Amino acid sequence: MASIEVGKSELGLREICYGFQQLLPISLFVVAFGLAFGLASTQMGLTNSTTMAMSIFVFAGAAQFAVLDLWGQHIPVLPLAVTVFAINARHLLMGAALYPWLKHLPAAKRYGIMLVVSDSNWAMSMQALSRSQPGLGLLFGGGLALWAAWILGTWLGIHFGNVINSPISLGLDMVMGCFLWAMVLGGNKSTRLIFIWAVAGCAALLARAYLPENAHVVTGALAGGLLGAMWTEQKQ
């Protein structure tokens, strides 16, 4: 695969393999949650092929868990779509943040990369890109590692789900949050960024307390995104 240079970013076979290796450790925890999803979906009556297809083509852990509660003989399409959009609304801002490094890529490659973007590989790639280091390999290669781990976990959950039927009881639900928090603390710091994170966090907490379920995801993302858009960073 020929390397593609995009500003300070580079995407080639070597960078993709590097990104894959970097995200492998956290992928082990993704396997555990995939296992829980596989078990939960079979308990809800989904067929094995439907469960596997959902993990292969959707690849959105929290949203997949959420739709299980709405799944049944008669599927409420509109509430299901609204729920999935609310949970995944953060991807709108994640995509906007990556746009400066992806806009020069052909559309097929750009959206191919975005298919495997999740919180972990986005955070690692943004940290690298903000330091003028190659980050697209982390984004795509890391995303492939997480995607493969989610599929593997789902398959294991379908066939051996009773091994770990409650990742939360083992504290595995905290792993991703701690990882993302470490990425935030390890990234570039400024008064502007700290204030934006604080506003987004406070808005999300208030929305979680007073607004409908999952609205805190959209509220926090919009609050932080709007403040960041209005409070532009001055460059020397």
Per residue of the chain (236 residues), give pLDDT as tens: 434 344 445 678 888 999 999 999 888 888 888 888 888 888 888 899 999 999 999 898 888 887 887 776 677 778 778 778 877 877 877 888 888 888 888 888 889 999 999 988 998 898 888 888 888 999 999 999 999 999 999 999 898 866 665 656 666 556 555 655 655 565 556 677 778 778 888 988 898 888 877 677 678 777 877 777 677 655 43
CA–CA separation, 124 and 136 (whole Å): 10
14 Cβ contact list (under 8 Å, min separation 6): 3, 137
Please tell me the predicted confidence (pLDDT) of residue 172. 55
CA–CA separation, 63 and 83 (whole Å): 8
Q: How many CA atoms lie within 13 A of 49 on its CB side?
A: 0
Q: What is the DSSP-derived secondary structure letter of residue 69?
A: T
pTM: 0.72
35 Cβ contact list (under 8 Å, min separation 6): 153, 154, 156, 157, 160, 161, 163, 164, 167
Amino acid at 199: V
CA–CA separation, 193 and 81 (whole Å): 32
For the record, the structure tokens of 124 come out as 């690692």
CA–CA separation, 215 and 77 (whole Å): 18
Please tell me the predicted confidence (pLDDT) of residue 176. 53
Q: Where are the chain's structural domains?
A: 4-187, 189-236
